[in-house]
Structure 1
Amino acid sequence: MEYLPIKNKVVRESFKFNFTICISNLFGDYNNVLQFAQTMEMYKLLGVQHVVVYKTSCGPDLEKLLKHYETEGTLEIVSWPIDQFLNPARGWNIKRHKGDIQYFGQLVTLNECIYRNMYQSKYVLLNDIDEIIMPYKHSNLPSLMEDLQPAYPNIGVFLIENHIFPKIHFEESGKFKRAEWKNIPGINIMEHIYREPPRKKNYNPTKMIVNPRKVQQTSVHSTLKDFGGSFHVPFDVCRIVHVRVPLQENLTKEELFVDKRVWDFEQELVPNVDQTLKLSGFLLDGVIRVISIVNRSSLQPLYCSYCSTEQVCKTVDTDVQIHSDHFSFTYGASDVICKGEHMQNATHVLITTDKEGSVDHKMEYLPIKNKVVRETFKFNFTICISNLFGDYNNVLQFAQTMEMYKLLGVQHVVVYKTSCGPDLEKLLKHYETEGILEIVSWPIDQFLNPSRGWNIKRHKGDIQYFGQIVTLNECIYRHMYQSKYILLNDIDEIIMPYKHSNLPSLMEDLQPAHPNIGVFLIENHIFPKTQFEESGKFKRAEWKNIPGINIMEHIYREPPRKNIYNPTKMIVNPRKVQQTSVHSTLKDFGGSFHVPFDVCRIVHVRVPLQGHLSKEELFVDKRVWDFKLTLIPNVDQTLEFSGFL
């Protein structure tokens, strides 16, 4: 017989999750995909990080969605094959629902979930799969509990009233009757804003937000044994939005209350649901996005010619979306959006100024990428470096940076190259042959006069910094389904974990703590190349004649400048980014998180920003030295293979 491990032996005061939802039970062929996606995305916006589902069975479409959320890390699926041992009832009323045990063992799973998450989660929400515990006077659950818990410090059980929004009554305007959701199985909660009044002389059932460490036994609508008692949260503070069959079928729409609370979240909820449905394979995006460079001051109508495998081509209008960050240069990054019928069958696309579709077929059509949504990726971490131009020849720093990133867990580096110095060219060829480096040819100087900086007053030209924003966006889309994470940083920057040994372990902590976040902002910190470490221990004779900076000699870090924004670079989930700039995204799904300086920061050895500071006014930061035993021989070997040593 199989022994069970004993859990909860260690009492904890800090928790992995702030809010966990326990959903029980999933059985039969339940296939309500749209409502489940909307509920999950709503709970993310409300601050929930962890959802537990006890699953006996479900419909095939919902199975796909569950796998998406499980892969994402938000959902924990507990296998619950109770029907292999008992004849479980499909309800709670034994007169109406025959069987051995109530509602597929609902009470067992609720109690198991409380104990499972007792020291994992600060709070646990006990509710059904089609219910949303919705704050009405707070923007999210954390702010709700920040008010409730201090007001009732001993209470461990907060009872939330259930209110029915009948699925038979629809909002009249049809503003959320979206074509994109037409064929998605399930209920669209956005269409149901009519709420039943409380039933006279009938108990209005509740669900709960509980402190799991204060609950010994629970039922469905209240606890059976707890420490500290319960508090019935006022209806106007928080209530359950429960879209389902009506309980009071006799009521007309005019006798119901209008309750549009869900609509308050539409700006984030709708695109997040769309993104989830796309990633789960339910929505085929009827849009082709062509990342482009346009003249902002003289836009002309553009048209999209797209062709299928049968060489059938159509020409449609486009929507040109100019990125908001262009630094006032004449040319800027844009997305040329093509919308038309049967775009999911298109294989190639061409942007043209010819509306009639008489396209010169000698022109080169672009292959359409990212048609297949993937949940597994070739690379865990990819770096996008833009842009390499001029006679940049910093061989030693580039080799040290590449070898450092290998030690940190990066498998793939992409460089957009216009030109570089002859020595660096040799090193690039070595890394390209090795397989870690992808070089994308970027001859932008053959078409425009690119600026060598971002400040148009100091760096004249047609487009900012050799089209940096264009290449960053192109790199994100190029690797959207190739890489789990993408690092967006410059060629002389190292995104360095300070509390973890590498990037995978950093993200294994950060992502579960912030499951909805797709953009992690990392502070840039300058290590002036003018200040050298005194002992000279890394002033190696082997590197004396190698062109470039030896980052091992520069351990002095500038302090943050007062009242000046400290720029960031990013680690992103590329599937959650629609448009990016250099230091932050412009459009994303899920928001961003500023990673604390002591957890991760950028090591950036370059000319000083605060050149007036003496060495004594700088901080000593020897983090790079932690890798010396492996880093130095790896750099030596690379330089040897590249013909420098």
Structure 2
Amino acid sequence: RRGAMLACPYQRSTLGVIGILVFYYLYWNLYVFSSDSKLREDLSSLQQSYIYIKPSWGYNNSWRQIGSKANHLIYSAYFDDRLDVLETINDHNTKVPIGSLRIIAILPREFKEAITCTVRFEDFVDKSIAIGKVQSLKEHHDYKYAAYSFMCPLYVNRNSTAIHLPQSVAISYPSNRLSQLSPTFMPISYPRDVDQLFAMSRPVVSVCVGPLQQNYSDVLRVAEFVEMYRILGARHFYFYHLSASEEVMRLLRHYQSEGIVDVLQWNVPAELLTQVHFAGIMAQINDCVYRAMVVDNYRYAATVDLDEILIPLKHNSLSIFLRQCDEGRTSAYVFRNVFFYNLDS
């Protein structure tokens, strides 16, 4: 009994120490979080005070090989002005972040090397940014290759006034010597109008369609899909073309001439199609969401296939439904699906 009594003070003492440590840990993290939030808020105000000079760039992208490695590919890069997505902020007394470059790529699923970003300006001045190791996007279905989406943070001198934004970016890593000697530069996408760089997103519904492949030829379904979503309030569509019939492409060119469709080349190499999930659809989804957000400043991007229609039950359109539901704190909406089968006659 005495032994048990002796044990109790020891346990209480241990618990007391643990309690103090837990309290200190929570207090310190709360302090760091509060300080970090205030720092990011201050830096955001400073970020928006600069004058930004945007380089000229080409809108369309295509898959390009990185150095000498077959099936190591880069597709696009976007300027992301959100400071809250940066994991850490370094050396803010002399240099401050103005955002990051979001890069979309395909690499081996087990890729373990440290990556360096090289940004190039219009005057051909290059700057290297080490970002370390990266991880593939989760939905790779255990294929040999996977989609990647990673960030290269951009810092400028704190006392700057006018800032020239970089024109292009390349990535390199030790095992790919050619990626260092002769980098594959990809143009960086910015808002179409640089004055909209820090503007509030427009409450517009855009639609991202999975890659058209295997000589897709159901032109009637494409027309029904576009017109149905237009009825539901969608304003813009992004199609990614790997392989489709001439009739389908003629219809898409018609919509393109009306300014409601963008058709992007999705030239995944034939030998890679059997080694990456669904023609690299995870890269396509990420590219499209950033394209809608960065280039066109749309608030909503529906990621769907041609046989998927989002139907609101109590509202006349998707745009009305989203405007009523969106309180500004939601990053994604997931819709319950119902299957409608065609019965054999």
Asked if TM exceeds 0.5, the reply is: yes
How many residues end up aligned between the 2 structures? 257
Cα distance in 2, alignment partners of residues 510 and 340 from structure 1: 34
Of 473, 476, 479, the residue aligned with 2:286 is: 473
TM-superposed deviation, 1:487: 0.8
Corresponding residue number in structure 2 for 1:484: 299
Partner of 2:256: 432
Residues 1:422 and 1:309: Cα distance change in structure 2 (over 3 Å): closer
Q: Cα gap change, 1:420/1:368 in structure 2, threshold over 3 Å: closer, same or farther? A: closer
Asked if the contact 1:381–1:484 (Cα under 8 Å) also holds between the matched residues in 2, the reply is: yes
TM-score, normalized by length of structure 1?
0.36
Tell which structure's C-alpha radius of gyration is larger. Answer: 1
Q: Per-residue deviation at 1:183?
A: 7.2
CA-to-partner distance for each residue in 1:270-296, whole Å, 9 max, x for gaps? xx99369xxxxxx84443221111102
The residue number in structure 2 matching 1:367 is: 188
Taking only aligned residues, the RMSD between alpha carbons, in angstroms, comes to: 3.4
Superposed counterparts of 1:432-511, under 5 Å: 432-446=256-270, 448-450=271-273, 461-481=274-294, 482=296, 483-511=298-326
Picking from 154, 170, 173, the partner of 1:350 is: 170
- For the residues of structure 2 that align with 1:403 and 1:274, how far apart are their CA atoms? 37
User: Residues 172 and 358 (structure 1 numbering): CA distance in 2 closer, same or farther, change over 3 Å?
Assistant: closer
2:143 aligns with 329
Structure 1 residue identity aligned to 2:198? V
Do the aligned residues in 1 keep the contact of 2:208 with 2:302 (CA within 8 Å)? yes
Cα pair 1:286 1:340 within 8 Å, conserved: yes
CA distance in 1, matches of 2:199, 2:29: 38
**Could you report, residue by residue, the CA deviation over 1:30-57 in whole angstroms, capped at 9, with x for unpaired residues?**
xxxxxxxxxxxxxxxxxxxxxxxxxxxx
Which of 394, 402, 407 is matched with 2:231 structurally?
Answer: 407
* Deviation of 1:390 (Å): 0.6
CA contact (8 A) 2:214 2:243 kept: yes
Deviation at 1:337, TM superposition (A): 2.8
- How much has 1:177 moved relative to structure 2? 7.7
Alpha-carbon contact 1:398-1:492 (below 8 Å) kept: no
List aligned pairs for 1:305-320, cutoff 5 A.
Answer: 305-319=118-132, 320=134
**How big is each residue's C-alpha offset from its partner over 1:118-172, in whole Å with a ceiling of 9 and x where there is no partner?**
xxxxxxxxxxxxxxxxxxxxxxxxxxxxxxxxxxxxxxxxxxxxxxxxxxxx959
2:213 corresponds, among 389, 392, 396, to 389
**1:352-381 CA-partner distances (Å, limit 9, x unpaired):** 2368995426x433225368222143x711
Mark the runs of 5 or more structure 1 residues left unpaired by the alignment: 1-169, 187-271, 277-282, 451-460, 533-645
- For residues 366 and 273 of structure 1, the distance between their equivalents in structure 2, rounded to whole angstroms, comes to 22
Higher helix proportion (structure 1 or 2): 2
Question: Secondary structure at 2:229's aligned position in 1?
Answer: helix
- Supply the distance in 2 between the matched residues of 1:171 and 1:391 (Cα, whole angstroms): 58
Matches within 5 A, 1:253-264: none
Task: Give 5+ residue unaligned stretches, structure 2.
Answer: 1-26, 44-81, 87-95, 158-162
Residue-by-residue CA offset, 1:460-500 (whole Å, 9 max, x unaligned): x2100011111000001111142121111101211112221
In the superposition, relative to structure 1, how do residues 294 and 484 fare at CA in structure 2: closer, same or farther (>3 Å)? Answer: same
Q: Secondary structure at the match of 1:402?
A: helix
2:212 and 2:243 in contact (8 A); partners too: yes
Query: Which is bigger in relative contact order (C-alpha 8 A, separation at least 6)?
Result: 2
Deviation at 1:409, TM superposition (A): 1.1
CA positional deviation for 1:442: 0.1
What is the SS of the residue equivalent to 1:416? strand
CA distance in 1, matches of 2:342, 2:289: 31
TM-score, scaled relative to structure 2: 0.64
Q: Distance in 2 between matches of 1:411 and 1:172?
A: 43
Secondary structure of the 2:141 match is coil
1:217-242 Cα distance to aligned partner (Å, 9 max, x none): xxxxxxxxxxxxxxxxxxxxxxxxxx
Q: Residue type of the partner of 1:364?
A: F
- Three-state SS of the structure 1 residue aligned to 2:146 is strand
- Match of 1:406, SS? helix
Aligned to 2:107: 294
Q: 1:420 to 1:173 in 2, by over 3 A?
A: closer
Query: What residue identity is the alignment partner of 1:369?
Result: Y
Output the CA distance in 2 between the equivalents of 1:507 and 1:303.
39
